[in-house]
Every structure is written in C-alpha cells, then in structure tokens.
Chains A and B, each alone.
Chain A
Amino acid sequence: MKNNDRDILEKYLAKVDKYLKYLPVSEKADILSELKNSFYERSKSSQSAAEIISHMEDPKDLAAKFISNTIIKDDKFPWKKFMQTFVFYSTASITWVIVIPILASLSVSFFFSSGVSVLAGIMGLVKDIIHIPIIDSMKFVFFSYEFRGIPVLVLGLILAIIFLWIGILFWKLVIKVVHVVQMQKYRMGNSKTL
C-alpha cells in the first residue's frame, strides 16, 4: 500500500473512531479492526484508497449504523432495577410522610405526659397542705380511685418515669427508622454505579 493511500484510509478510520465515541473501547477497537481488514483486503485486490473510500459512506453515517445497532440491542428495559427503585421510593416516602411523623409526635406526647404527671403529683401533694381554690376543685383520680397527699406525688412520679421511658423508646425508634432509610438509599446509590 502506498503511504499516501494509507494516510487516506487512516484518516477515514480516525473519523469513524471519533463518531463511535459512546461505545465501549473494546467494541470500538473491534469495529475498527474489522473495517481495517476490509480496507486491507480491498487494497490487496489492487483497489486504490480513493476507490475504497468511494465504496464507503460518510464516516458519521457508518458510525451511526453501528451505534443504533448497539442501542437497540441494549435497550431491554431494566424492570428489576425500576421495581427496586419504585418500591424503595414508595416505602421511603410513606416512611417520611407517615411513619416518622407519627413516631416523633408519639414520642413528644409521652415526654409531655411525663411532665404533666410530675406536675399533677406535685399539685396533689400541695392540695392537702395549702388550700388554693383552683387546686381544691381538682380531683386526682387514677382508675376511679381518688388519691390524696403523698400517694399522688408517688403515683405522679411513677407515671412520669413510665411516660418518659416510652417517649425515649419512640424517639430511638425515629432515629433508627431514619438511619435504615438512609442506609438503604446509600446502598441503592452504590448498586447503581456497579
């Protein structure tokens, strides 16, 4: 092959290479080697470079034929991945919109109840010692038993501890749920890049 001829053919292949840019390197190399062999065989049967190129189409069109072929072949819709993502985001959004707020407000409610119980215990104790009209009109009833004096305070404190404990439990649950959701999202993100 004359040097000039080789240049013309190399130039053509370089252009095809450029337009094949979105294909994996191995596939690109394979396509170009095959074309190169075709050029080689043609020039061996004494075709000039100009003749060979005249048989070819525009490098862009040629590359497009390989690319469209690849895209059609790889165009299987990733149902599994789609369903995984769909299920994740549905569960995640339900978790964010419903589960986490409910758990969080339950937790806060129990903290509040705990505070109220302490207050009620103190007021029950005070009722027997000092007589304040508003507190006097209150009754401290627990399961239809009315309590007075020290037992009110004790009961109030016991309830406060129980409510506080439940409140902490719910709060820990909120943190746990947020953590799990984030971990799953992190894992999904990783599997996408694989």
Chain B
Amino acid sequence: MDHEWLSQIKRGTLEYSVILLIKSKDRYGYELIQILEDYPMLKTKESTIYPLLRRLQKNGYLDSYWDGVEEGASPRKYYRITAMGIEYLNELNRDWQSLIESIIDIGDEHTK
C-alpha cells in the first residue's frame, strides 16, 4: 500500500480522532497512543500526539490538568474538551459527513 496516501489521511484525521476520544472522557497522552495503537491507519507516537495536544490546547479546544495517580507514580496530564472544542468538533463532524457523502457520490455517479 502507498505510504504517502496513508500518512496524508492520518495527518488529516488524527486530530479528529483525538478530539472525539477526549470528548467521551478526559484522557492523558499515553492513553490516546494506546487506544490508537489498535487502529493501523491512526497509530501514532509521542512525537506526534504531544505537539498536537499542545496545539489544540493553544487553540482553546482543549483544557488540561495534572493528576497524580498513586503515591510514587509519575503524574498524568489529562486533557478535557472545552465549549469551543465541542463547537469545533461539531464542525469536524459536519465536514467528515460531507466528505464521506462526496466520496460515495463520486464513486456512484462518475465512475460507472
């Protein structure tokens, strides 16, 4: 399979996946890496996820807080979605829907 195509899709959809995951509940970075590990097209690493999370936070879509787990353990930085983030997610949902419809439409109408 063409790797360029995969990386392009990942670039465009990772942000969407991350916001979707954080909307369902507050998450920390490594947790997101673990969840996405199960999806070959969305698999990601620290070097991608942390800069992405910081950018989303700077844009005001996410909020964060540190939470120490148990004694002696390293604290986790949890991200939660903001009101602006929910607004942004609605926009992404609409875009995603429209993209899928467009692809289906193109497949049906123009390639027969």
Binding site for B on A (CB under 8 A): 30-31, 33-38, 40-42, 55-57, 61-62, 65-66, 69-70, 73
* Interface size classification for chain B: 10 to 19
Establish whether residues A41 and B46, one from each chain, have CB atoms under 8 Å apart when the complex forms: no
Establish whether residues A65 and B47, one from each chain, have CB atoms under 8 Å apart when the complex forms: yes
Considering the complex, give the chain B residue whose CB is closest to the CB of A43. B74
Considering the complex, give the chain B residue whose CB is closest to the CB of A27. B54
Considering the complex, give the chain A residue whose CB is closest to the CB of B74. A40
Q: Say how far A86's CB is from chain B's closest CB, in angstroms.
A: 29
Q: List residues 47-65 of chain B with CB under 8 A from any CB of chain A.
A: 47-48, 50-51, 54-55, 58
Beyond A37-B28, A69-B55, 19 extra complex contacts between A and B, CB < 8 Å = A30-B77, A33-B66, A34-B29, A34-B50, A36-B74, A37-B30, A37-B74, A37-B76, A38-B50, A41-B74, A42-B30, A55-B45, A55-B46, A56-B47, A57-B45, A62-B47, A65-B47, A69-B51, A70-B54
Residues of A within 8 A of B21 (CB): none
Establish whether residues A69 and B54, one from each chain, have CB atoms under 8 Å apart when the complex forms: yes
Residue of A31, A34, A62, A66 most packed against chain B (CB within 10 A): A34
Residue of B47, B75, B77 most packed against chain A (CB within 10 A): B47
